[in-house]
Structure 1
Amino acid sequence: MGDLKGKTALVTGSSRGIGRGIAQRLAEDGALIAVHYGSNDIAAKETVENITRAGGRAFMVGAELGVPGDAEALFAAFDAELAASGAEPGLDILVNNAAQNFPGRMDAVTHEEFDRTLAVNIKAPFFLIQHGLQRMRDGGRIINISSAVTSTAHPTQIAYSVSKGALETLTRTLAKDVGARGITVNTIAPGWVETDVTAARRATPEGRAAMAAFSVFNRIGRPSDIADVAAFLASDASRWITGQRFDVTGGSML
């Protein structure tokens, strides 16, 4: 895959799951990784240790998303930690992975749950991009992590679906806006993946089999399945691709 040596990447929500997989994969390609976490600093430290143990470089950035001033707080910490690492200031790759989900049908979602979902899943990425672009070098990469829920109807995930649909619209519009700088903006839409979020659903053989059956490969996705696509989109090999949504679901719902 592409050579990311000399690049700096910020991956939100990279203490666990898909975010951790992406952070570790980009580090393998040589990028310096800012491992963002909201509250689980222990898990974030594990991600950093995984990266450094494999010969990569990483540092932690803690900031709660979905609250006033979140982008400013995150990038203040990012700038400080980047300077402490001795690296050149600036940003090359921004991966908006952190997300919030309150499952529920239309009649069950509360105002607080809806507001929190949109605050984390679309408002935070919007303003992180706004601040990130001030630091991003020309030829940079913005990768938004969406979901398979935007391509099929999931009534029990309605608020989450709305937020991810907005994120995909942001991807297309932004791609046109920043194209003159050689910056690409793309979306990855995963399906079922083996993470802490899906652990309860995978707890029984029946539940695991039901999830695996969504894919034509009859298995549940792994964080590495998503991370490899992110690595491609972060590399120079994807330079002629922007404004696109990549279905990374193992052929789910075909």
Structure 2
Amino acid sequence: MTASFHDLMGASVFITGGGSGIGVALTEGFLAQGAKVAFVGRSDASAFADAMAAKHGNRPLFIQCDITDTDALQDAIAQAAQTHGPLKALVNNAANDARHAAATITPAYWDEMQAVNLKAYFFACQKAASLMAPQGAMINFSSISYMFGAADMVAYTTANAGITGLTRSLAREWGPRGIRVNAIAPGWVFTEKQETMWATPDSKAAFLERQCLQDFMQPADMVGPVLFLASDVSAMMTGQTMVVDAGVVTTG
């Protein structure tokens, strides 16, 4: 970490999926800035919270929660605000990018994928907006996969496209209240899950050829952009989707 965002010192931050994958890097990134972090996840992340407390002297609040349980998710956000104060930032990071052939999708599977990848984002934003400090920020993780029409993940890419619409509409509606809403669209970030389930030497080499920058992206590469969007240094930026993908897609 080379940049300091002084307005994040002591700020109340809530992250979904903050104990695994990219979320681990985000949680630690905010803690390193001195923020008060609360995060949710389906799996027990108590050991991770202990490790962060030992490393940074700043323990995150972990609340075990399935984000598809809307009541539990909104209760967790309320608990975070009660513990750490009005929210400075919400980061909707948790997602399920499972691969699936379009012909095999059932209505139940479709609903399940939208529940975790889109519905939970909206209801987290809805609750956070009622508990947000002035000049608060929301950051919604999308993906470049919908921009280039990735095959074998249509339920996921549909939700990603929906996140862009969600972000733009909420930015417009809540802008008068001083709430900024932006999205971030990563390229292929090689988390442990990606390496285990889908990354092969051939698929990694092929994707690297699509990038302008010839380095594989890691979770830490997402931290700086998210801190920027959470901080007042991006005070006049809202309703936007920031692409961080080493140059695979182009915008503008």
TM-score normalised by L of structure 1: 0.89
Q: Which residue of 2 aligns with 1:16?
A: 20
Aligned positions of 1:34-113 closer than 5 A: 34-38=38-42, 40-41=43-44, 44-52=45-53, 53-66=55-68, 70-80=69-79, 83=82, 87=84, 89-113=85-109
Q: Which residue of 1 aligns with 2:5?
A: 2
Q: Which residue of 2 aligns with 1:174?
A: 170
Query: Deviation at 1:237?
Result: 0.3
**Could you tell me how far apart the structure 2 residues matched to 1:223 and 1:201 are?**
16
SS for the counterpart of 1:103 is coil
Query: Deviation at 1:2?
Result: 1.4
Q: Which residue of 1 aligns with 2:140?
A: 144
SS for the counterpart of 2:196 is coil
**Could you tell me how far apart the structure 1 residues matched to 2:92 and 2:102 are?**
26
**Could you tell me how far apart the structure 2 residues matched to 1:58 and 1:148 are?**
30
8 Å CA contact retained: 2:190, 2:218: yes
**Could you tell me how far apart the structure 2 residues matched to 1:45 and 1:176 are?**
37
Query: Deviation at 1:81?
Result: 5.8
8 Å CA contact retained: 2:168, 2:239: yes
- The alignment-based identity, stated in percent, is 32
TM-score normalised by L of structure 2: 0.90
The one-letter amino acid paired with 2:72 is A
**Could you tell me how far apart the structure 2 residues matched to 1:145 and 1:17 are?**
13
> Which runs of 5 or more residues in structure 1 are unaligned?
none
Q: CA RMSD in A?
A: 1.9
**Could you tell me how far apart the structure 2 residues matched to 1:253 and 1:139 are?**
30
**Could you tell me how far apart the structure 2 residues matched to 1:194 and 1:19 are?**
13
Query: Deviation at 1:204?
Result: 4.6
Equivalent pairs counted in the alignment come to 245
